Structure 1
């Protein structure tokens, strides 16, 4: 069955939408849809696996505890090492930001 990353994207979202697409023992792939959502100011993601993300549509800003901000536009991708504390600082509130995230161990 053929699926499409751009189907079933809601016009409004109260929270980010996460959809598992594939995975195995040491890897998981998910689609994330954001529309103006961001992480809480006081919270940081601290994940046990590496995360590779690409923005397929929309725009976003990732913030890192070390003080760096990374702006992502369609086609931009970034690798977040395991235990690198980060958060989503901003996503475009005017359109859906569609991410593809791959979580993996080395």
Structure 2
């Protein structure tokens, strides 16, 4: 689809929660040049079998707080040549009740921990 668009600035945003809940696998990314990945949205959650929309609106957690294989996807993307950028994208009602600086600190700490699995060379 990216190639068919003909737009050199079109890219793929990979949201970890949506990746796994669309039943995607790393094999689905075979042949995708890493520079066509615009960014990876770091989050976690559960595999949904029922109300996908409701869970998307309230069940995206910080990396490491759910059951998704965040590490596996990050390592798989790294092996395919992706080097960032990364951002945190969560949607959980409890996060909205926290002071902004506390939530930002939690997001930074969880994202940093998730990215520590990546080789530095």
Normalising by structure 1, report the TM-score: 0.26
- Greater relative contact order (Cα 8 A, min sep 6): structure 1 or 2? 1
